[in-house]
Structure 1
């Protein structure tokens, strides 16, 4: 269990931060960029939960937020550390099952979708875009746990399908009209 008695430590004042194994890296290290992007994605999901209120898929998003803390710990732990908290394939499989369940009642897409619609869906679209950035950042981390990268890839798909659910099973999706403003 984590226990924080004091929020500031001053150990990062020189531009470095500690990893789980006690080593220190620059705050500009690709590992730290990935952790920051995962944190931003988690915050964006929190905004989406606030916009959704009690509506689906708010409860599932709370599980995802917890997973993202696991993911941050995974990224913050260099390869080869025994007993480290890691994203596991079952977490990726769970996202896939949830995607399939949400997608089952949606009409097939006939166009790309513009980010927007319901306020909750718009917040989910923003979270999806941030997760895509987190995935790009994670690719640059040496020795990353493969299920961690798969989790991010699947999560962006999950968020996309969730936007369609929130937008009235796709009825409120805003479709791209190629060349419409010419």
Structure 2
């Protein structure tokens, strides 16, 4: 790859534009930039989750693989017409989702984003992935976006929800059930 990023600042974005992967320029507030930028943010949140103490090794390996795929997805969204995420990637997430979900009891109530440090970080990553999905859907209303990209983000947020449940239980905190009639104690 060489010295691709030998100079970090270029000043070319000072006018509010940014370069896409195909060499074209667009506004920094363009839907495409919002989509791949939010995917990058989700990847960073997963990095924060990976830094949680006591994260099980299988989960760490899974999340690292997902980080690589999210980087690929960001590239797909940054380069109009580029394809990086395949149907097999979505199926791979579904397989992991099913495997982790199988060990959990059925969910009968809503849960709060809590349950210990790793679970809370996982919930944060989940909500950022959901925002990335919304931004990608918004982009798809204006420009061509492959269904695999949207499907990947949808499955990933589901997987992160299941992982948060598993991590809360593994840490001994358990899930925090939402209480509809909960009132503040004054």
TM-score (norm: length of structure 1): 0.92
Describe the superposition over 1:122-155 as per-residue Cα deviations: whole angstroms up to 9, x where unpaired: 0000000111111100012110121001000010
CA distance in 1, matches of 2:106, 2:95: 18
Question: Is the contact between residue 48 and residue 123 of structure 1 (CA under 8 Å) also seen in structure 2?
Answer: yes
Q: CA RMSD in A?
A: 1.7
Q: Give 4+ residue runs of structure 1 displaced > 4 Å after superposition.
A: none
Question: Is the contact between residue 74 and residue 145 of structure 1 (CA under 8 Å) also seen in structure 2?
Answer: no
Aligned to 2:148: 147
What is the DSSP-based 3-state SS (H/G/I as helix, E as strand, rest coil) of the residue aligned with 1:60?
helix
Question: Is the contact between residue 17 and residue 25 of structure 1 (CA under 8 Å) also seen in structure 2?
Answer: yes
Q: Does 1:30 align with 2:31?
A: yes
What is the DSSP-based 3-state SS (H/G/I as helix, E as strand, rest coil) of the residue aligned with 2:18?
strand
CA distance in 2, matches of 1:147, 1:53: 33
> How far has the Cα of 1:168 moved from its partner?
1.6
Aligned to 1:6: 7
Question: Is the contact between residue 100 and residue 162 of structure 2 (CA under 8 Å) also seen in structure 1?
Answer: yes
Query: Kindly tell me: are residues 111 and 35 of structure 1, through their superposed partners in 2, closer, same or farther at Cα, counting changes over 3 Å?
Result: same
> How far has the Cα of 1:171 moved from its partner?
6.8
Q: What are the residue-to-residue correspondences of 1:1-182 with 2, within 5 Å?
A: 1=1, 3-55=4-56, 56-79=58-81, 84-141=82-139, 142-168=143-169, 172-181=174-183
CA distance in 2, matches of 1:134, 1:23: 22
Question: Is the contact between residue 116 and residue 173 of structure 2 (CA under 8 Å) also seen in structure 1?
Answer: no
The total of aligned residue pairs comes to 178
TM-score (norm: length of structure 2): 0.90
Unmatched tracts of structure 1, length 5 or more = none
> How far has the Cα of 1:52 moved from its partner?
4.3
Query: Kindly tell me: are residues 130 and 173 of structure 1, through their superposed partners in 2, closer, same or farther at Cα, counting changes over 3 Å?
Result: same
Greater Cα shift, 1-10 or 154-163 = 1-10
CA distance in 1, matches of 2:54, 2:90: 25
